[in-house]
Structure 1
Amino acid sequence: MHDPERFGAAGPAAPTAVAAGCTSTPRRLHHHDQQAYVWSRVHVNPSPSGVPGEAAQSLVPPPRSGAASVVVQDKLYVFGGYGGGTGRLDDFYAFDFRTCSWEEVQVLSEEKPGCRENNGVVVLSARDQSIILFGGYNGHRWLNDLWKFDIATQRWICLEESSPDMVNAMVNEEDETNAAGMGMPQQVVNASTTSQRPSCRFGYVSVVYDNKLVLWGGFDGQRWLNDMYVYDFGSSLWSQVQQCGTLPSIRSCPASAAEGKYLYIQGGYDGLERKEDFFVCSLDTYTWTQMPNLGRTPSPRYFHSCVMHSNKLFMYGGYSGSQRLGDMFAYDFETNHWSEVDCSSGDSPGGRSSLIAQVHENNLYIFAGYNGQTVLNDMYKCRLRPIGIPSPSLLNDFRRLINDPETADVCFLVEGREVHAHKAILAARSQYFRAMLFNGHMRESSDNSPVEIRDVSHPVFCKVLEYLYTDTVCDATLEVGIHLMVASELFMLDRLKSICEDLIRGEISTENVINILVASHQHNALGLKEIALDFILQHLSDAKIQGGLTELKSEPDLLIEILKLSSLQPVTPFARRLGNATQHQVLSPGTEQQPSQAQQVRLFNAHPAPQEQQPLWRVDWR
């Protein structure tokens, strides 16, 4: 008739210890945080005590299974359940999703529902935020009382008490004598005036639709049911519904979920077998339809839970008759297919039945339940869909600010043209501009006339701003890279200098290295000069390099520098010729005097290169 392991006289094993509350440490968002179906254990934060000067305390409800739950705004409300050795419960808790903390709900009314499990609670409406509770099982009898909790006033109101004449044969004289001690009300408010009400039961399905409480199925202590009743909150009357279509067979403890006018149930137990079928009821006509059970379907089970989210029904856990299940399935209403969800990512809840499952925003929360040995009070959450993180836009947003006169607060004059910028960005990115704009080296900020920039061309200065705003430089040619490297030294931008060096190293060739060397020498671009000298020494025997060196008449110091550096390299015929010309014909025997620049040029020209050099690529620095 029922699960002997679940309702055995000795009850489940001793309850598990309450998990210690802690605050999560902030962490960087990694790529895996965008994935769906990643489980994590919820670490509960301490709850404020409400007493000035008293420290917050970590509060977690005691272990339980078969508790009733509902989400109202940003809170999960949990009522009652089965506590194992502590029996059935009548406590009332709320979990705040925003603060990740539990609190015991303060009830200001004297009357309240008694201990029970496997009953349901639902929210009346978004406007009238009241919690509706019906029936259940208190360890002695099955119930059909109806209660309403007003969240605003924190009061329970009994709409209907449980019917003594409808209690099943398990009720004995002692039960009736002690009824008042189990929370039965002394006074009934707004009791219905009809006898056409549902029998006492637990393990039923409940939902609110069109200001009516809809009940379906369950177990009344003797029979498994598939009847449907409706309670109209406007008239305070019950009525039995004539259902249409393909009705589900009798059962209790199926998983259920509702969205709009549709109520879904899956699985359950009819006293003989566990179910795996899947049905939907259209609540505007009370018409049932059996859903296609395609794909990888869940195994038969009951005491499981399901939720609706993003046009999918997610189902977790349950009892197969031999084990508590820890699998998870998703039903896609677009394809009418089941698929098993991989629960291996992260810290998953493990197998359990009679659990609480609710959705808040993009997460499925699992709380409490029974794992076959222990009644639980742990909580887990699982992201149900990938977080759609948009592509980063910071670079593009900042790029739009370059030379934007509408938002700029400083103006530069470069080659007679105005360039607009933002002081805060320039100062944050460059010590040079911080000193210029805020330390009195240039014009005061109150002066609106443009700040003149010399020794840099307008296109190159715009590229400098691009780097300062975006930390990158796009579409840079070799010539731009050369100019930009010189500017980076002027503005003391080491990273930009390294970017330019990397560009030049990839583009330098025997055709342009001499001009690059001359330009770097003239503008004291030491990093660029080092790149050019390294390349020349590595290709000193190349005919184009040799021909280019013969044209260094205007920069004889470079010839001497190349000679000194080449002495550390393997001697090539050209290096030997260069060395002979400068050492044997210029230096007098027994002296250390260096030749004059004019002598160096005459002697080097007296030793022509073996091949004519083609006209070289020239750098116009401005």
Structure 2
Amino acid sequence: MEDEPPPPSQGVSAKALEATLLSALKMLDVGKWPIFSLCSPEEIKLIRQACVFGSAGNEVLYATENDEVFVLGMNCSGCLGTGDMQSTIEPRRLDSLCGKKIACLSYGSGPHVVLATEEGEVYTWGHNAYSQLGNGTTNHGFIPCQVSTNLVNKKVIEVACGSHHSMVLTSDGEVYTWGYNNSGQVGSGSTANQPIPRRVTSCLQNKIVVNIACGQMCSMAVVENGEVYVWGYNGNGQLGLGSSGNQPTPCRIAALQGIRVQRVACGYAHTLVLTDEGQIYAWGANSYGQLGTGNKSNQSYPTTVIVDKDRVVEIAACHSAHTSAAKTQSGQVYMWGQCRGQSVTFPHLTHFACTDDVFACFATPAVMWRLLSVEPDDHLTVAQSLKKEFDNPETADLKFLVDGKYIHVHKVLLKIRCEHFRSILNNDDEIIEMSEFSYPVYRAFLEYLYTDNIRLPPEDAIGLLDLATLYRENRLKKLCQQTIKQGICEENAIALLSAAVKYEAQDLEEFCFRFCINHLTVVTQTQGFADMDHDLLKNFISKASRVGAFRN
């Protein structure tokens, strides 16, 4: 025997309802990335974090509200971490990462993936021809494996990937790199590939780093006093040092002396920084206008980018694209560089609400420049707050007693929402007994006043229809009829028809009658038909005859 659902008197706790409401607020708008068309609407509703990556935006990793991790796509070089190289159009779960809360994620061109958990653990998988997974080998990694060498007792708080090298930032401000090093991008002072994580020292030895980023073959670090240090490939001037020579160890950008930088973002071969005053500086490759300077000339020195007159609060770029984006304090989003094949040389105002949408709709490939996460939002709208307070004894000032059970409500809301209560409620009322309607019906009615919706089976909706008729609640009558239409079946069709006739709901009556005619053989064999009121039966047969229901 199946377990019965809890009786209505238990209701839904305020905390549970609030959690549901907050969960509804926390949904990612991922539909702009084509690969999510492979996911069902039900799957998309559960997504709380996501990253689209790969050479054509053909791979994606996402985490759900239950901290389950799924992947789908082409699976180049085993970058989905499923243990094989099979592509999949169905989401596949990564059991090894389920339950681990993801803090940040980055990816390379192979692609390879570097992920850090909220506990500060680092996992890598995918392409590994240049040791970019940090496990000491050059074998591709088909499943996520933790990177522990030299990171034991270190909490990683940020990760970044270049084309084939990797970099992480620890909570104590240290930077570790590994992987491809043909241009000095791991900052070791040589050009030998680095198979395991090693701390970047040199002039960063005594500095506390607060932000990191990677271009295709270069690396950047912002330290706590706002200085920017760079190393690696510099053929397009992407290091901002005023030259085009590669740099095998970190070097401070002297041209930014006196400017406090907060964030750095790297494109394929260009760099953006955001200062504490909300200004953008850019340098490096500019063949698509990605520096936003109004021309297509490369710049080896930091150059000011004019984005309206508003303060900029976010910059965006990723090493797989030649696209730049920024968001201002007033919420306006600008884009420039390579945008759907066009070269946009000045920051262009978009209709987007976030920089992520720029990369979904205009970058080539359509990837994500960061792990896209739902930000906690504890603010409830007025409507959501009212829903939360229904049947809350802690704030209620009135109780209805129905069938021996209490329903806790608020007088002022009832007066505002219902003409019936406006005329009958008194300030000294504390308990009102109700015997005209059943508990499920009256509870559904009171909840409707808080939520504008009804939740009850079609048979009970008949009683609520009676109440709505009595209280002259026309919108509620329509909702009841809609519920009845959606829940009609052969067994309850006659009962619903009878209710429609009783409450003079002509549209519903016609609907129920048509249903009975279309299922006449089964309906006439039900108990409801056998117990049918004589006058109703007479009218039913007469009407059915007129529409030819009994013809051979």
Common topology (TM > 0.5)? no
Using the size of structure 1 for normalisation, the TM-score is 0.35
Using the size of structure 2 for normalisation, the TM-score is 0.38
Structure showing greater relative contact order (alpha-carbon pairs closer than 8 Å, 6 or more residues apart): 1
